[in-house]
């Protein structure tokens, strides 16, 4: 899902447009694999004496579980983005009901990041933006969080200069 640049002011430009690191849905991908393997094994070992309804019930259960444990979280991940522009940070989420949140860079009082060992292995981290309102914006599983942090600090410095 690309960012609609028509929504930018005339002197505003996109610094970075991204979504959470795919690490955020690794558990869901694993669930899909387990569901598929389990359904396949169940179908292979169902006795021939069992009615075709048992096979259909196995397939339907597998599909039901795959929808709720993989496809819905995957769509949520796919449709959740955040964009850093020269003036603000924009978050957009939602499959059917879209929600968005914009924070002007002038409202950000500090930016920090956290990376645990798993985040370092996958090259992502959590970006924490303290706002003048006192409630921080926390962006989890941000790809290349250190580079984004540096870019934000530069933008915040430019914002203070103007």
Tens digits of residue pLDDT in 3-30: 777 788 889 999 999 999 999 999 999 9
pLDDT at 70: 98
Residue 1 domain-assigned (yes or no): no
In a domain, 97, yes or no: yes
Is residue 6 one of the residues assigned to a domain?
Answer: no
- How is the chain split among helix, strand and coil, in percent rounded to 5? 50, 30, 25
pLDDT of 160 reads 63
Phi, psi (rounded to 5 degrees) for 89: -115, 130
- pLDDT band with cut points at 50, 70 and 90 for residue 48: confident
User: 144: phi > 0 → left, psi -120 to 50 → alpha, else beta; which?
Assistant: left
Query: pLDDT at position 2, please?
Result: 62
Say yes or no: 86 and 142 in one domain. Answer: yes
Averaged confidence pLDDT in the chain: 93
pLDDT for res 49:
82
Are residues 111 and 134 located together in one domain of the fold?
A: yes
Mean pLDDT of 84-97: 93
Q: How far apart are CA 115 and CA 110, in angstroms?
A: 17
Domain count, the chain: 2
Do 157 and 86 lie in one domain? The reply is yes
Q: Are residues 52 and 88 in the same domain?
A: no
Residue 159: predicted pLDDT: 64
Q: Which of 1-5, 120-124, 154-158 has the highest mean pLDDT?
A: 120-124
- The answer to whether residue 155 sits within a structural domain is yes
CA triple 18-23-137, angle to 5 deg: 50
Domain shared by 124 and 155, yes or no: yes
Question: What is the token pair recorded at 59?
Answer: 């397939």
Q: Give the pairing of strands 99-104 and 88-93.
A: antiparallel
Residue 1 has pLDDT above 60, yes or no: no
pTM above 0.75, yes or no: yes
Write out the residue range of the structural domain in which residue 45 sits: 26-76
**Which pLDDT belongs to residue 52?**
86
Q: What is the mean predicted confidence (pLDDT) over 24-46?
A: 97
Asked whether residue 54 carries a pLDDT value surpassing 70, the answer given is yes
Q: Does a structural domain hold residue 122?
A: yes
* pLDDT above 90: residue 79: yes
**Same domain? 139 vs 122:** yes
> Closest Cα to residue 111, out of 128, 136, 88, 131?
128
DSSP element (H, E) containing 137: strand 137-143
Statement to judge: residues 92 and 129 lie in one domain = yes
């Amino acid at each position: 899902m690309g960012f609609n640049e028509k929504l930018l002011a005339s002197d505003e430009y996109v610094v970075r447009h991204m979504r959470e690191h795919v690490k955020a849905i690794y558990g869901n991908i694993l669930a899909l694999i387990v569901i598929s393997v389990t359904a396949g094994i169940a179908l292979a070992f169902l006795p021939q004496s069992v009615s075709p309804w048992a096979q259909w019930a196995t397939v339907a259960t597998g599909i039901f579980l795959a929808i709720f444990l993989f496809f819905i979280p995957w769509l949520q991940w796919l449709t959740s983005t955040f964009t850093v522009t020269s003036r603000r940070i924009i978050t957009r989420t939602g499959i059917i009901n879209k929600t968005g949140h914009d924070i002007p860079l002038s409202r950000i009082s500090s930016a920090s990041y956290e990376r645990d060992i798993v985040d370092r292995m996958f090259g992502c981290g959590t970006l924490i933006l303290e706002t003048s309102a006192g409630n921080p914006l926390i962006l989890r599983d941000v790809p290349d969080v250190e580079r984004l942090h540096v870019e934000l600090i530069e933008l915040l410095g430019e914002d203070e200069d103007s």
